[in-house]
Amino acid sequence: MGWSLAFSGDPAGGKARAAYRLRRHHSIHHPCLGLDRDPPYSAIGGEQSVSWQALDELKQQIPLLGYLEAHDWRPVRRLSRGRWMGLCPLHDDRKPSFLVDPAKSLFYCYGCGRGGDVIRFVEIHRQVKFPQALALLQQWRGLAPLLHEAGRFYRVQLHRHAEAVAYLRQRGLRSPELIEHMRIGYAPGSCLRAWLTQLGYPLSALRQAGLVSAVGYDTYTHRIVFPLPGNLYGRSISASGPPHRFLPGTKGGLYAWEQVRQYQEVILVEGLFDYAVLWQAGFHNVTCSMGNHLNAYQFQQLCDGTRTVYLAFDADNNGSGQQAAQRLACRLREQGLNTRRVSLPDGHDPNSFFVQGGGAQQLQCLLQEARP
């Protein structure tokens, strides 16, 4: 697609006014996107010039379908000419209305009427302007392939190390389907760097991603690894190291949200091992915030539709989990959502509840007894 875009800012009354000019060279108009009427990207203030050659290169390097699937979007139905239809991640969608054309790397939602390319998708999905969307994509472009290779390496290691498999069983994770669903791996330490440099990644890139330390040692050692969009979470199986660790950067959104947001009732837990035992027990409407304090993006995700949220936070002896659940419940009710706080036995989290003999039927009873 050949486009030319220029931004100019001229002060008026002490305020900068953003203006843009869109000029089409030669492109195939997509009737759903309405490019004859509206600019494809948001306008920004101030002087700004954009190289469309650079934008085209970025979009070629980040195919829209690949980006969507990496963020847990799943197609529901295959259409003609290789196109796909699924639930829209941009609004509360109950019936698949989100069309993706991989050949053109374009999307259009017949429900909310929005469409465009991968840059426009990031603008809308993350509620950011054009330059911030570019920065997010450029960061993801550099990090995603590296983290993908690291995650793939860790998954291979999992079944090569009996101590890792034993730890998963100790935490109640036994289902091969679950391990595949969460793409769980294991970091034994002292071997990831060699593998990635053999693939051609420079040591500087590994350091920048946080996969190796400043002196060149593997960052994750003796850790169960869960891949996340733009990050890796590592849970130590040894008492000697910090139990929880993320790579530099944000922990991102709610876990597997694109697969969960279709449900009218959602269970929110704190940890990934909590998520794992619930999913394994058949509660596929569960998601995880990786802590009891939601970031702004996670809160926005919970509020993107009308639903009931069951808060199954830890029943800590110091009360911190239940206090956080109460605060979150108040915030969610202010946004018009129904909330229920699940009361686990004292001292338990969902993972320990299942490990120590609880089952799906007992948890279902707790959900039914949950209070606002």
Identify the pLDDT of residue 50. 57
3-state secondary structure of 134: helix
- CA-to-CA distance for 129 and 166, rounded, in angstroms? 47
Identify the pLDDT of residue 158. 97
Which DSSP string do the residues of 296-327 spell out, in sequence order? HHHHHHHTSS--EEEE-----TTSHHHHHHHH
Kindly list the structural domains of the chain, giving each domain's residue range(s) and its CATH number in brackets, ordered by start.
Answer: 2-127 (3.90.580.10), 145-246 (3.90.980.10), 257-369 (3.40.1360.10)
Identify the pLDDT of residue 42. 58
Per-residue pLDDT of the chain (372 residues; tens, 9 = 90+): 333 223 223 333 333 222 222 233 333 344 454 343 344 565 444 334 457 777 888 888 888 998 898 787 888 999 998 899 999 999 988 899 999 999 899 999 999 999 999 999 999 999 999 989 988 888 888 788 899 999 999 999 999 999 999 999 999 999 999 999 999 999 999 899 999 999 998 898 899 899 999 999 999 999 999 999 889 999 999 988 899 999 987 788 999 998 999 899 999 999 999 999 999 999 999 999 999 999 888 998 999 889 999 999 999 888 899 999 999 999 999 999 999 999 999 999 999 999 999 999 999 999 999 999
Instruction: Report the DSSP beta bridge partners of residue 310.
Output: 267, 340
Please say whether the beta carbons of 304 and 260 come within 8 A: no
* 252 phi and psi angles, rounded to 5 deg: 85, -155
How many other CB atoms sit within 10 Å of the CB of residue 285?
18
pTM for the predicted model, two decimal places: 0.73
- In one letter, which amino acid is 340? R
Identify the pLDDT of residue 182. 97
- CA-to-CA distance for 88 and 98, rounded, in angstroms? 5
3-state secondary structure of 99: strand
